[in-house]
């Protein structure tokens, strides 16, 4: 199984809603990532988890709250988002520690989020 599964595939939420994005992998990978991708732009790194601990936060606003409950699961909790937060949210995972990574990262197909 070389899949990273993201749910839901599509999400529409209001600016006062609270929602969560879910990402799951069963490859035994210990590094997991959240990216945000706006239309016609490259993916932007948001967070990196290594061995279930937050290692990198790329100055992401607090309305995005990541969580890594276990080594297979990564969540992104969303609260009080703005319309400009509408984007494709991508999850990825890689083997071992991301420092000095000499391996491929596997990406999910993303959650397309629309904030209304």
Partner 1 sequence: DAKTTQPPSMDCAEGRAANLPCNHSTISGNEYVYWYRQIHSQGPQYIIHGLKNNETNEMASLIITEDRKSSTLILPHATLRDTAVYYCIVSFNKLVFGAGTILRVKS
Interface residues with partner 1 (CB under 8 A) are 4, 33, 42-45, 48, 56, 88, 90, 92, 98-102, 104-110
Q: Give the nearer residue to partner 1 in terms of CB position, either 45 or 80.
A: 45
CB of 106 to partner 1, least distance (A): 7
Nearer to partner 1 by C-beta: 1 or 99?
99
Q: Residue 107, CB half-sphere, CA atoms under 13 Å: how many?
A: 12
Q: Classify 85 as helix, strand or coil.
A: helix
- Chain-centroid distance of CA 25 in Å reads 12
CB nearer to partner 1: pick between 108 and 115:
108
Q: Where are the beta strands (DSSP E) in 30-72?
A: 31-37, 44-50, 53-57, 64-70
21 three-class SS? strand
Instruction: Report the alpha-carbon distance of residue 9 to residue 36 in Å, rounded.
Output: 14
- Quote the least distance from Cβ 95 to partner 1, whole Å: 12
Q: Which residues partner with 13 through β-bridges?
A: 115
Cβ at position 18, least distance to partner 1 in Å = 25
Residue nearer to partner 1 on the CB measure, 82 or 103? 103
CB of 77 to partner 1, least distance (A): 21
């Amino acid at each position: 199984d070389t899949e990273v599964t993201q749910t839901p595939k599509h999400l529409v939420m209001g600016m006062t809603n609270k929602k969560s994005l879910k990402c799951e992998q069963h490859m035994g990978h210990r590094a997991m990532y959240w990216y945000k991708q706006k239309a016609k732009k490259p993916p932007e790194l948001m967070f990196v988890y290594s061995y279930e601990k937050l290692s990198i936060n790329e100055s992401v606003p607090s309305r995005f709250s990541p969580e890594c409950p276990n080594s297979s699961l990564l969540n992104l909790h969303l609260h009080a988002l703005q319309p400009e937060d509408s984007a494709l949210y991508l999850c990825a995972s890689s083997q071992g520690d991301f420092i000095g990574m000499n391996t491929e990262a596997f990406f999910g197909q993303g959650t397309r989020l629309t904030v209304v």
